[in-house]
Structure 1
Amino acid sequence: MTTPAKLGLIAGNGRFPFLLLEAARAHGLTVVVAAIKEETDPEIDTRAAADPNIRVHWLSLGELSRLIETFQAEGVTRAVMAGQVRHKQIFSSIRPDWRLAKLLLSLRSRNTDMLLGAIAKVLGDEGIELISSTAYLEPLLAKPGVLTQRPPSEDEQKDIAYGRTVARAIAGYDLGQTVVIAAQACVAVEAMEGTDATIIRAGALMRTARIADDGFLSQALTVVKVAKPNQDMRFDVPVIGVATIATMQQAGATCLCIEAGRTLLFDPEAIVAAADQAGIAVVAQ
């Protein structure tokens, strides 16, 4: 009997690692999971217990040497990153081992792309190729067009046009990928806090603005999320889930624009159903 090919999975938080795990297993791959103690859902152990071709190794965020040693011991030559690692974890809570500390000192800047790109190079030098995080998940990439029953209104389309210009600019500096717009004014820009926190902050700001300005900025919020201009599909790919729609509804956002072909939709049918129920327009451009 031929031994199934192996895939290393560096698992962050959220549902992304589980979706990729299922897709890889559907392709007959044995999956060696490097689960990050500070991020990965412990449910990953339950999945492994039910499938002998899933093996889980727990390690801390800063243990780059142990990650390499684990994959090498398992015979892994290809790996994928899936799931968010919170930016504030990367830059504040991390306890780097000697290899990661050396890498951090060598960086001219410590943005996400620079750090993860350097880690990818170290893995490659050790015989472990980091492949696209959308591998095996191509059907979940957003297709162009209006995804919901309701298309964006004329005002929302204006906010989308302005928001895409702003979002692409900040994404080019690797600051974030999401902006929140109202009446063609930028209400919030994503930084280390992540998309959901940015949307919640925008909702809070708008409630304050409505009180202070007696409705001057009373229009609903439009959320625009883009990929980076030179998006490396191996990491930090834009993702949207049902939780995004719930967060938008909580914040009073009525429209979501994402980037077609470069944004992953986790459970597309559920996302569209939730958006339709909330009266939120979703469009991919």
Structure 2
Amino acid sequence: MLALIAGTGDLPPALVARLPERPLICALDGFRPALTPEITFRIEHLGSFLTTLVDRGVTEVCLAGAIKRPAIDPAAIDVATKPLVPRIMQAIAQGDDGALRVVIALFEESGLVVRAAHEIAPDLLPPAGVLSRKPVTIDQRQDAVTAEQTIAEMGRADVGQACVVRNGRVLAREGQAGTDAMLARFAPSDDPLWGVVDGLGAVLGDAAEWLSGADGEPTDARGALLFKAPKPDQDRRADLPVIGPHTAKGAVAAGLSGIVIEQGGVMVLELDDVVATLDAAGLFFWVRPKGGA
């Protein structure tokens, strides 16, 4: 029997739709998924939750969807969870991948097999190639190399799985808020200044290529590409990157030239809609083999 530990977002429903039988839906308190959970648990009751899964005949679990690090109330920790507290605190103190490795180990030590989302739904990993009508230029391919190197650097710090690059320059790195929030920083407002920048760009060229905000970071990402890939050494049974139509719309709103994802390392929800959105706006979509040119 499979239990789906469902976070927020569209991935958990996409997995359930692909399974021949509905799994046991579980959710961490405070992170209600777009599904009705049969079990909602608190992190302070993790030990009891693991026992409940085993008692109900669960043999496999899949962790899917977004969950932020919960606050822990020491007074609420139950007896079954007290022996796990040092491990839980170790997980909270680490980066995303390090934390997930600790959590996965706790499930495995309870006799549960942890299955990856893409193992359940392999069709969410699109084939390699440029899937859009818009081709990828030589300069954009070089930017993808820069972006891949950037993700590798970010991976060593165990933070983020996406970045925005233009002309060899990294304009943004994904933070805890996620890819869509990163792209939203570059979406133009209704400020008349945006129209002025269009005119200045034609006159001044690279000197007006982007504006800077108060912190010196670029606020204009037009012509840049979004690159998304897993951290180089992460445990791919959890937290494999995901994009979907909302990400495609965010890339269009930000004026990007296209999206690059690592083949076999990023799941795509509603692939046809993603490609159609990018095609309609003249953006490219490249599923790039790791290390590809």
1:72 matched to 2:63: no
> 1:117: how far off?
0.9
Cα 1:22–1:238 change in 2 (3 A) is same
- Work out whether residues 180 and 202 of structure 1, in 8 Å CA contact, stay in contact via their aligned partners in 2: no
Q: Which residue of 2 aligns with 1:159?
A: 143
1:59 matched to 2:59:
no
User: Matches of 1:185 and 1:106 in 2, distance apart?
Assistant: 35
Q: Is 2:27 aligned against 1:32?
A: no
TM-score, normalised by the number of residues in structure 2 = 0.80
What is the CA–CA distance in structure 1 between the aligned matches of 2:61 and 2:54, rounded to whole Å? 11
Equivalences for 1:127-276 in 2 at 5 Å? Answer: 127-203=111-187, 214-217=207-210, 220-276=223-279
For residue 16 of structure 1, the aligned residue among 11, 16, 34 is 11
Distance 1:160 1:168 in 2: 12
Normalised by the length of structure 1, the TM-score is 0.82
In structure 1, runs of 5+ residues without a counterpart are 1-5, 46-54
Q: Could you say if the C-alpha distance between residues 107 and 35 of structure 1 is closer, same or farther in structure 2, counting changes exceeding 3 Å?
A: closer
The offset of 1:258, in angstroms, is 0.2
**Aligned residues of 2:133 and 2:279 also touching (Cα < 8 A):** yes
Of residues 173-182 and 56-65 in structure 1, the stretch that sits farther from structure 2 once superposed is 56-65
- Give the conservation status (yes or no) of the 8 Å contact 2:7–2:66: yes
1:145-190 deviations in whole A, cap 9, x for unaligned?
1011111233322322211111222123211110111221111111
C-alpha contact (below 8 Å) 1:32/1:71 kept by paired residues: no
CA distance in 2, matches of 1:63, 1:225: 34
CA distance 1:240–1:106, shift in 2 (3 Å): closer
Q: For the Cα contact (< 8 Å) 2:183–2:254, is it kept in 1?
A: yes
Distance of 2:72 and 2:257 partners within structure 1: 37
Cα drift, residue 198 of structure 1: 1.5
CA radius of gyration, larger in: 2
RMSD over aligned Cα atoms: 2.6
Q: Given the superposition, is the C-alpha separation of residues 199 and 127 from structure 1 closer, same or farther in structure 2, using an over 3 Å criterion?
A: same
Corresponding residue for residue 44 of structure 1: 35
AA aligned to 1:149 is R
1:62–1:94 contact (8 Å) kept in structure 2: yes
User: Does the CA contact (< 8 Å) of 2:91 and 2:103 recur in 1?
Assistant: no
8 A Cα contact 1:104 1:110, kept in partner? no
Unaligned runs of 5+ in 2: 189-193, 211-219, 289-293
Aligned CA distance change for structure 1 residues 59 and 109 (closer, same or farther; 3 Å) = closer
Q: Percent identity?
A: 25
Q: Paired residue for 2:215?
A: none
2: CA distance, partners of 1:153 / 1:238: 25
> 1:254 is aligned with what amino acid?
S
> Which of 97, 100, 105 pairs up with 2:89?
105
Aligned length: 260
AA of the residue aligned to 2:175: A
Q: What is the DSSP-based 3-state SS (H/G/I as helix, E as strand, rest coil) of the residue aligned with 2:257?
A: strand
C-alpha contact (below 8 Å) 1:38/1:61 kept by paired residues = no
Q: Structure 1 252/193 Cα, relative in aligned 2: closer, same or farther at 3 Å?
A: same
Q: Residues of 2 paired with 1:61 and 1:249: CA distance?
A: 38
Q: Which residue of 2 is the match for residue 48 of structure 1?
A: none
Deviations, residues 66-91 of structure 1 (Å, cap 9, x unaligned) = 43133123110111111121xxx31x
Structure 1 CA distance, aligned partners of 2:155 and 2:73? 27
Q: Deviations over 1:101-143 (max 9, x none)?
A: 3213345951111111111111111111212221221112021
SS state at 1:277 partner:
helix
